[in-house]
Structure 1
Amino acid sequence: MHTITSACFQIMAKAFASEGCSLGKHLPGLDQMLAEGGPIRVIQVYRLLNALVSESGDADIGLRAYEHFHPCVLGVKSYALMSSPTLAQALQRLADYHPMTSDGSHMFLERHVDRLKLVGVENATVAQRAPRAFIDAGAALVFAIVHWLTPFQRPMPLMLELTYPEPLDTRQLRRLFGNNLYFSARRNCMTFSLDDGAIELPTAAAALHTLHVEYAQAQMSEQVDGSLEARVRRILAEQLSQGISPGLSDVADLLGMSRRSLQHGLVRDEANFTLLLDQARQRQAASFLRNTGRSLKYISAQLGFRDQSSFHKACVRWFGISPNQYRLTHADSGGAS
């Protein structure tokens, strides 16, 4: 069951309610859920957004989240972001602590020679693809965070890549994010220049930053990390989504531990690395085949198979049918983009 925090959902709820939409009608028990402050199921949010777009006729409703952003959506990690020396380091913290906000997606920061790319990837195990309004709300909140951290510069993205098809009307999207929009993308990405990444934050505080990071890390370990197996699963999903098929030593390095310690830890959790990697590949393969039109050659390479034949055999073992048959069988449930 994938969730997002109540604080994050409340920002969205305020944005949608401001448009005159009745949230309770579409999500019974909403008031009680918000009063309890517990996490909200991602699939419920998806269904709510689809209903609200249908009711209001406003396909841009997710973008309203920008106007209603408040640091409370970030929880304790807001301090680690604020005290970061630069915007780039704050974006790295945003990605590092994203699991505290939601386990329905992965976020990471790619550092290229000439740019920074903040990437969001849906968790392959979520039963339904994220609707446009949810993707828009996520992008709007990230952009609001950037402008909150840099109130004097308020940088614009070099480009914004969105996984949904280009809408008939893109005026609101362009008004908020600029003209460099790309649709039907493989991943949701917001790109900034290195100069923007180097912006020094007015709230930077080196001494406090160390304390804030330690506190946020402790909170995430308590709230999210759980077993070593869960942490390995999350790393495998993130790496495979980037086209990296990591080995045991690679994952151990990312966890800051030795290969032997990782092996022993997994044994204690009654888990096997090879099996975890195979399961992660299976989930990613299912997502690619259901939700994209990528070639089998591309998918097999993305998941780290030596050749397309090996990928074919793996699909037969996982699904009982070939990858092409799996794609055809599930065509109506997701559609290729």
Structure 2
Amino acid sequence: MHTISSVLAKALIDPDSISQLGIPESQLAFLNSDSVQSGVPQQIPLTDLNEILSLIQQRLGSEDIGLLAYGKAHPGNLGVLGYAIMSSSTVHNALKCIAEFYPVVGAGYCIYLEDHPSSLRFVGVSADDSWPALPRVFIDAIASITLGLLHWLVPTSCLMPILAEFTYPTPKDRRQLEAMFGRNLAFSSNVNALSFRKCDTELALATSDPSLQKIHNDYLTRKKSELTDDGIIERVKSAVLQHLHQSKPLVIDAISCSMCLSQHQLKRSLEMAGARFQMLVDEARSQYSHHLLTNTALSFKQISYSVGFKSQSAFNKACDRWFGMSPGHYRFSRC
């Protein structure tokens, strides 16, 4: 299930400022809860948040409404995670902290960093490609608040992405997006991502505090473990999806390593959950194949390699097993 913390949701939507739009108070009730359990903010269904965001967009008649979240960017909107980010040494470490501990502010996503020789790519995708596509207003809000947070952390440097990628189609008017993220924009992408120059991500944070960072990271590690102990299946599928996007091996030693677990720990956790590793890899491949076949124009050969098959014939057999038909017939049936 896709969820988001109530604290972050309030940063994306200000109940006071939208009361004049005539949205029923009953639909805003989830924003009025300050419930915090064991130091972790309440999680609310993302569908509830997206419904409100879509209503706001319709009432105001602006496709760019999600970009307003930039003005609410502050570490405090991420709870304990925000304090850990503030105490990080550099922008790179701050983004790494978000990627490592994002489960404390949301579930159903896969967030990771791609470290390239001259750039750093901050990537976010849904952990379940069978889930409906995220609306533009939500994608813009998260990208804007992420960039705004980086600007808050390094106020003396106008940190800008060298590339911003979005999964939604090219909008009619790009001007506001270009003003926020620069002119190098890509649309209808497989992932949502912001790429920065490596040298920019090495900028030091004035709020850095190594001793506090250790305290916050230790606390977040415990909370993340508590939140995900019962969700090992989702964690594995999320890790598999990340490996698919990065063309990394889909073997248990590589997956367990990326999850900071030993092979024994991962196998034992899956046994307790009544699941098998290879079964989860197969499910993740199936979901990602569904996404690529129905939402992209990639060739079948490209898709077969993207989901980890060495040949198109092997992919064709897998599609027949998953969907009961060839990839061509499946794509046509979903048009």
TM-score for the superposition, normalised by structure 1: 0.90
For 1:188, which of 185, 192, 196 is the aligned residue? 192
Distance 2:253 2:275 in 1: 16
Cα deviation digits, residues 105-154 of structure 1 (max 9, x gap)? 22111110001111111233453111111111011011011111112213
AA in 2 matched with 1:102: G
* Aligned 8 A contact 1:43 1:127 in 2: no
The verdict on how the C-alpha distance between 1:16 and 1:309 changes in structure 2, with shifts beyond 3 A counting, is: farther
Question: Are 2:15 and 1:4 aligned?
Answer: no
For 1:91, which of 76, 89, 95 is the aligned residue? 95
Q: 2:21 maps to what in 1?
A: 21
Distance 2:125 2:207 in 1: 29
Distance 1:15 1:151 in 2: 28
Q: 1:269 maps to what in 2?
A: 273
1:193 Cα deviation from its structure 2 partner: 0.9
Q: 1:121 maps to what in 2?
A: 125
* Aligned 8 A contact 1:119 1:187 in 2: yes
The verdict on how the C-alpha distance between 1:319 and 1:120 changes in structure 2, with shifts beyond 3 A counting, is: same
AA in 2 matched with 1:315: C
1:23 Cα deviation from its structure 2 partner: 3.8
Question: Are 2:227 and 1:241 aligned?
Answer: no
The verdict on how the C-alpha distance between 1:16 and 1:47 changes in structure 2, with shifts beyond 3 A counting, is: farther
Distance 1:131 1:178 in 2: 21
The verdict on how the C-alpha distance between 1:15 and 1:137 changes in structure 2, with shifts beyond 3 A counting, is: farther
For 1:223, which of 221, 227, 230 is the aligned residue? 227
Question: Are 2:163 and 1:131 aligned?
Answer: no
Distance 1:126 1:103 in 2: 15
Indicate the percent of aligned positions where both proteins have the same amino acid. 34
Distance 1:324 1:225 in 2: 39
1:228 Cα deviation from its structure 2 partner: 3.7
Q: 1:335 maps to what in 2?
A: none
Cα deviation digits, residues 238-264 of structure 1 (max 9, x gap)? 222333342011122223343344333
1:160 Cα deviation from its structure 2 partner: 1.1
The verdict on how the C-alpha distance between 1:219 and 1:265 changes in structure 2, with shifts beyond 3 A counting, is: closer
For 1:316, which of 294, 315, 320 is the aligned residue? 320
Distance 1:157 1:77 in 2: 23
The verdict on how the C-alpha distance between 1:313 and 1:84 changes in structure 2, with shifts beyond 3 A counting, is: same
* Aligned 8 A contact 1:100 1:224 in 2: no
The verdict on how the C-alpha distance between 1:57 and 1:229 changes in structure 2, with shifts beyond 3 A counting, is: closer
Cα deviation digits, residues 163-201 of structure 1 (max 9, x gap)? 222212112112222222222222211111111111010
Q: 1:68 maps to what in 2?
A: 72
**Following superposition, which runs of at least 4 residues in structure 1 exceed 6 angstroms of deviation?**
none
Q: 1:334 maps to what in 2?
A: none
Alignment map for 1:133-282 (pairs within 5 Å): 133-282=137-286
Alignment map for 1:42-53 (pairs within 5 Å): 42-53=46-57
Unaligned runs of 5+ in 1: 332-337
Cα deviation digits, residues 83-109 of structure 1 (max 9, x gap)? 111110111111111222222322111
RMSD (Å) for aligned C-alpha atoms = 2.1
1:279 Cα deviation from its structure 2 partner: 0.9
The verdict on how the C-alpha distance between 1:261 and 1:131 changes in structure 2, with shifts beyond 3 A counting, is: closer
